[in-house]
């Protein structure tokens, strides 16, 4: 399981980092108003992610959407790769 510190240090998604920072600051006793000012987020943003962290842990702070599933099935993907001659594009 990732820690808040690992998310902050290693995530490439700025929103993941912002969520982890907000929760970490709440745990450290920073006021909601100060967090709003520092991170430029709303109090509802802070409350939402605090609850999710309490229920799911730090993994719950990570974005779960990883893009749209390809509309090409494996057979068509291979066919396109053969035609194009470049397997790395797909």
Q: Are 16 and 7 in contact (CB under 8 A)?
A: yes
Which of the 8 DSSP states describes residue 62? S
pLDDT at residue 20 tops 50: yes
Q: How many domains does the chain have?
A: 1
Q: Could you tell me the residue range of the domain that residue 71 belongs to?
A: 1-90
Tens-digit pLDDT profile for residues 55-88: 999 999 997 766 677 777 788 878 888 887 765 5
> Whose CA is closest to 13, among 84, 83, 78, 61?
61
Higher pLDDT: 85 or 7? It is: 7
Q: Are 39 and 22 in contact (CB under 8 A)?
A: yes
Structure tokens at 84: 């194009």
Band of residue 54 on the pLDDT scale cut at 50, 70, 90: very high
Average pLDDT of span 3-25: 94
- Spatial separation of the C-alpha atoms in residues 6 and 28, rounded to whole Å: 17
Phi, psi (deg, nearest 5) at residue 12: -95, -5
**pTM of the predicted model as reported, rounded to 2 decimal places:** 0.70
> What pLDDT does 1 receive?
81
Higher pLDDT: 6 or 66? It is: 6
């Amino acid at each position: 399981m990732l820690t808040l510190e690992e998310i902050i240090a290693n995530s490439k998604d700025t929103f993941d980092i912002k969520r982890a920072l907000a929760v970490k600051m709440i745990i450290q006793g920073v006021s909601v108003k100060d967090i709003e000012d520092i991170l430029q987020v709303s109090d509802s943003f802070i409350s939402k992610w605090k609850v999710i962290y309490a229920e799911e842990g730090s993994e719950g702070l990570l974005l779960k959407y990883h893009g749209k599933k390809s509309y090409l099935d494996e057979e068509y993907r291979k066919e396109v790769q053969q035609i194009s001659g470049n397997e790395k594009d797909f």
